[in-house]
Amino acid sequence: MAKKIVRDLEVKGKTVLMRVDFNVPMEAGKITDDNRIVAALPTIKDVLNRDGKLVLFSHLGRIKTEEDKKDKSLRPVAKKLSEYLKQEVKFVPETRGKELEDAVAALNKGDVLMFENTRFEDVPGKKEKGNDPELAKYWASLGDVFVNDAFGTAHRKHASNVGIADYSDEVAAGYLLEKEIKFIGGAVDDPKRPFYAILGGAKVGDKIGVIKNLLKKADKILIVGGMSYNFLKTQGYEIGESICEDDKLDLAQQLLDQADGKIELPLDLKVTKEFSNDAEIRIAAFDDIKEDEMGLDIGPKTLEKYTAMLQDAKTVVWNGPAGVFEFPNFAKGTEGICKALAEIDAITIVGGGDSAAAAISMGYRDKLSHISTGGGASLNYLEGNVLPGLDAVDDL
């Protein structure tokens, strides 16, 4: 996919509009995970080092009412970014208007400005999420070129990523977006083989499209996490109180029928009688779960089996944790997968969401080839869907 990248733009003296994904988790006004900020730094620094005048914008959280705006300002994000850049990040607490226009006009080469949460435009009227053309045209008018580096919203058609591109003379991808194209797009379109996928998380329903697409492309799909129990139950095994989508059992059977042996299921599981880190744990074979038990992690035999299978892999995509990794006693499966991926000679890609959060929190940020910043976007990409935010970038 040959797309124009920020390096292809002449930015010296120009006002560069850049959509970033700074939708970071916060508690009491403090950022608890700044991975998305760190991931955007290469693109930001490149524009500043080449004497561009940079205007950053992002959404943060869900905004449905005026009340929602109170703790969803990007001001703390601007402050954190200024620490990383070691220079002032001018913050404008507006999404349009004279204050913003004057601040943009006053920028000098190498300056950076961030304006307020784009989703504030959704109260009232959903102008941002509704891709309102008037809003998109206004934002485009603030700069000379547009750079999209927000992979986390690439599967959405919003004013700040797609609409603005329609009114911009030049549209390029940032280095983060380029990296997502290279790794996830490469894995889907032209993987080095053997190509294995590890799919977990709570629901089969969320990943129907991913499984169907990967069945056509992957050599093996290793199932972990909550979705395991759908596949076990549809084959007649007792799963007790384990999570399961009963309305998706027929689908699970269809996927097994289509898989022609490509889908691998757990051999054993960590089961307990209550949803708690401190609950008593039993290692149960896949066909030995009791009625009053629930599975919360894969077992040691499953981890050993999957680790051995991965040894000859050349490309691995992983989306979805192996268990309730938030509980330390049920995090060993997820951590074991991280360790296995870190030790093999392969392209290893973690597809965003909980699995990305787990890999980072467990210290594997720099031990894997790529950890995606976009949960929903990476799932859509793995399904083989066209991403509107990516499609809006100029072709080379």
| Options 143, 295, 323, 353, the catalytic residue | 353
**Residue 376 appears among annotated catalytic residues:** yes
Report the distance separating Cα 194 and Cα 214, nearest Å. 13
Report the distance separating Cα 209 and Cα 190, nearest Å. 19
290 touches 269 (CB < 8 A): no
Burial 309-346 (b: 16+ CB within 10 A, else e): bbeebebbbbbbbbbbbebebbbbbbbbbbebbeebeb
**Residue 353 appears among annotated catalytic residues:** yes
| Options 36, 127, 156, 179, the catalytic residue | 36
| Options 75, 126, 203, 365, the catalytic residue | 203
Helix%, strand%, coil% for the chain, nearest 5:
40, 15, 40
**Residue 367 appears among annotated catalytic residues:** no
| Options 185, 209, 376, 384, the catalytic residue | 376
3-state secondary structure of 26: strand
CA angle 50/54/59 to nearest 5° reads 140
Report the distance separating Cα 83 and Cα 38, nearest Å. 11
Report the distance separating Cα 8 and Cα 11, nearest Å. 9
CA angle 156/158/159 to nearest 5° reads 160
* Active-site amino acid positions: 36, 203, 353, 376
